[in-house]
Amino acid sequence: MEHNTNLELKALVETIVRDLLEKANSAQKVRKKVLFIFCDSSAHELFTDQLIQLDNTEIGYDLLFLDGETSAWLGLHQIESTGSTKVIAADELAPAPLELPKEYEAVVIPEIDLDNAARIALGLKGSVKAEIVFSALTLGKPVIIGEDVPGIKRADRRTLKKLSLPPAYQKLFIQYKEDLKNMGVILTKQERIYEAILEKLSGSPTHSSENGDKGKRFEGNVVTADWVHYYLEENDSLIVNKKVLITPQAKDLLNEKRIDVKFV
């Protein structure tokens, strides 16, 4: 009898542990992830601080390093595109450029050049950047591009010892950037790329609510300290849905800035 009781107790403990583990797993937050496309393996160093900020706001990211005009490296996998009618992966485990945006919430290109801006604006393929942007825009995913760039590739700058395009090409580059904006691409200064990502993935504030309350309304799911820092001033009013989560650091900053939070 005692043996049976021990077995029942053991089974009960196992059931409780399994239930707790399942709840813990289901409660784990799935991190949103963005894809950064850099010209080469050293281009990301200028954006180290912004990548740290993404980590601090629980936004994941992958880095794609271009190894030439039509190929790139994502981790250990080489990704390659050839021409406007054929897309290939250089190894059997690597995704084709056209498939990449499916796995990400947004695509970020900190530096764009004249050639790729022209391809994207004219709807052409044939390069990794052009195909990824085409796929992302077709899927309705945000594409964020740095606008304060010279328009000439890093490799070309090193080879030609020139830092800017000649006037005729500069005029073309400006026109193509305007075309990108009209297509829905988000152009922002390189130093503000992190803010653009945060605005698109966490929700941007509006200045009034539907019922006439005055204040900035949060449209995302989680209010973070970085969001409060960038979008709210002292003595502002914040309007959030009752289901929105506010991180402990954000609560501390809200108190520090004396911001009134209204739940609707």
pLDDT tens per residue, range 74-131: 777 888 776 555 556 667 777 788 888 998 999 999 999 999 999 999 988 888 899 9
Q: Looking at the structure, tell me whether residues 238 and 155 fall in a common domain.
A: no
Q: For residue 130, what pLDDT is reported? A: 92
CB proximity list for 205: less than 8 A, separation 6 or greater: 216, 217, 218, 219, 231, 232, 238
Please name the residues in contact with 42: beta carbons below 8 A apart, sequence gap of 6 or more. none
pTM, two decimal places: 0.66
d(CA 153, CA 116): 10
Residue 253: pLDDT over 70: yes
If asked whether residues 148 and 106 sit together in one domain, one would say: yes
pLDDT at 134: 93
- Residue 77 sits in the same domain as residue 122: yes
Q: How confident is the model at residue 4 (pLDDT cuts 50, 70, 90)?
A: low
pLDDT at 3 over 60: no
Q: Quick: pLDDT tens for 144-191.
A: 999 889 999 888 888 889 989 999 999 999 999 999 998 889 998 898
Sequence letter at residue 245: L
118's CB contacts (< 8 A; 6+ apart) are: 124, 172, 176
Q: Residues 97, 211: one domain?
A: no
* Residue 133 pLDDT greater than 90, yes or no: yes
Counting the structural domains of the chain, the total is 2
Residue 236's domain spans which residues?
203-263
Whether residue 127 is contained in a domain is answered as yes
Nearest Cα to 219, choosing from 249, 190, 198?
198
Is the pLDDT confidence value at 36 over 90? yes
CA distance 40 to 42: 6
